[in-house]
């Protein structure tokens, strides 16, 4: 996104506040700004772009839904050349400092057994859909209300892969 784009307000409204602006080349919590209102949007984009350029040499940023009090849940996956994908028990990586994991706990004390199965199947299905052939991690953010209603607003975050070489 760009602070000069007149559509940023429409995009943020469609996503729903709060939103978060993140550096495309970022990591470690740098180049990130949480935006709770339309009035703060343009300035937050400019600040995130400035920080991203200073830290990563790239000012590009994107906008996504900000998940308040998120739980960071990861599923390890393994895919083979025959199209078979399996997932392993999740890890809860929610204990963080400055958006960096400090502790991984398994199984997650936060999610229910039914949500655990639902998310594991979602990780497996995502890998199967792209013919995933390696070991990796599918990461999700789960909202703070999931434990209360035994369901969730869980959001796919990304797949982190490990490259294996056969000789």
pLDDT in tens, 2-44: 999 999 999 999 999 999 999 999 777 788 999 999 999 999 9
Q: What is the pLDDT of residues 70-103, one digit of tens each?
A: 888 999 999 999 989 999 999 998 888 777 788 8
Q: What is the DSSP string of 26-95?
A: --TTTTEEEE-SHHHHHHHHHHHHHHHHHHHS---EEEEE--SS-EEEEEEEEE-TTS-EEEEEEEEEEE
State pTM to two decimals: 0.67
The pLDDT assigned to 147 comes to 58
Q: How far is CA 32 from the centre of its chain?
A: 13
d(CA 142, CA 140): 6
């Amino acid at each position: 996104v760009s602070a000069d784009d007149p559509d940023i307000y429409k995009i943020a409204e469609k996503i729903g506040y709060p939103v978060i602006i993140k550096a495309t080349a970022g990591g470690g919590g740098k180049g990130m700004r949480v935006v709770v209102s339309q009035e703060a949007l343009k300035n937050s984009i400019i600040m995130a772009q400035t920080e991203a350029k200073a830290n990563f040499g790239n000012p590009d940023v994107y906008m996504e839904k900000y998940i308040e009090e998120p739980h960071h849940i990861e599923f390890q996956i393994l895919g083979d050349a025959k199209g078979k994908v399996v997932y392993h028990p999740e890890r809860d990586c929610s204990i963080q400092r400055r958006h960096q994991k400090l502790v991984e706990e398994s199984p997650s004390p936060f999610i229910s057994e039914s949500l655990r199965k639902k998310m594991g199947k979602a990780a497996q299905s995502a890998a199967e859909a792209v013919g995933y052939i390696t070991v990796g991690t599918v990461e999700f953010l789960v909202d703070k209300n999931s434990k209360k209603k035994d369901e969730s607003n869980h959001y796919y975050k990304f797949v982190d892969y490990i490259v294996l070489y056969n000789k």
